[in-house]
Amino acid sequence: MMTATDLQNHLTRLGLSQTEAAQLLGVAPRTVRRWFEGEEEEVPGPAEQALRAWLRLQERNLIWRPDTLSLREDDQQQIAAHREYAIELSEALARVDARGGPRFPWHVDREHGCAILGPMEVRFYKLANGGFSLASYTHKNTVPDLQRDRELIEDAAFYIAKEMKKEAAIPVTLVYMEGPNFAGPNGQFGAMRHEEFPSNEAAISRACDLIELPRVHSMAIREGTASSGGEFLWNDAELRRECARRPKPLIRRRRVVPA
């Protein structure tokens, strides 16, 4: 049961005004105002379900808001679809957590929109809001059976969600070692540096600049701030491959004309 106090706490943590919450929940602003002011004993089940799902996804640094176009045009059909999918994804990830985590590691290819585990393949597509939606799955060794393979598909969603964070505009920290990449006389490898950025893209750009420096090594990007100790999203090898894939910036040299 979600009370008025619970609602106020959820909206604050989600950064939503009453008007924004009304639009995302598909209700009139006065309805949210009545919930907020305690004129009704509790928030109805569907609204509570959506609010709790959004908060769980936000705590995982996963995107839950609809895309800007849907919000600007107040496309309630698309907003409702985002709402239902957020609830489904949140509940699927919660079930994976309740099982103690995924049973097997899936390989996720963001570029081609697929996750692979042996003979199984789960395809997904990227949403306009920066999130993702599962599209289909195949099983090369047998006839697909959603009921039989449900837990494995949920595991795939877990790894897809984790991989999609690499494209999300979420606060991250670039971690790297500066100094020799071998132990010195005192047994140290150099100094560990932490640099905070507002998004993956900003941190990757910085990493690609640092990668050219011989005294920088063992780079990684993890979600959250330097003090939060979030999950690692990019390791050194992944960052080096990403930087190698990107075009090198042009260096403009000033032409010197002899006098």
3-state SS track over 192-244: EEEEEECCHHHHHHHHHHHCCCCCEEEEEEEECCCCCCCCEEECHHHHHHHHH
How many helices, marked H, and strands, marked E, lie in the chain?
Answer: 9, 8
Q: Which tokens go with 237? A: 């090898």
pLDDT band at residue 33 using 50, 70 and 90 as cut-offs: very high
Q: In whole numbers, what is the pLDDT of the chain averaged over residues?
A: 90
Classify residue 189 by burial, with Cβ atoms within 10 Å: 0-12, 13-18, 19+.
middle
Backbone angles phi, psi at 200, to 5 degrees: -60, -45
Backbone angles phi, psi at 117, to 5 degrees: -140, 100
Q: What is the pLDDT of residue 180?
A: 76
pLDDT in tens, 150-173: 999 999 999 999 999 998 888 999
d(CA 76, CA 189): 56
Say if residue 256's pLDDT is above 80.
Answer: no
Q: Give the chain's end-to-end CA distance (angstroms, integer).
A: 83
Say if residue 253's pLDDT is above 80.
Answer: no
Q: What value does the mean pLDDT take over residues 5-19?
A: 95
Q: Which tokens go with 242? A: 């990403």
Say if residue 259's pLDDT is above 60.
Answer: no
pLDDT in tens, 60-112: 989 999 999 999 999 999 999 999 999 999 999 999 999 999 999 999 999 99
pLDDT in tens, 175-233: 999 987 665 566 666 789 999 999 999 999 999 999 989 889 999 999 988 888 788 99
Q: What is the pLDDT of residue 188?
A: 64
Q: Which tokens go with 195? A: 């640099």
Of the candidates 200, 124, 184, the residue with the CA atom closest to the CA atom of residue 156: 124
Q: What is the pLDDT of residue 105?
A: 94
* Contact status, residue 172 vs residue 203, Cβ threshold 8 Å: yes
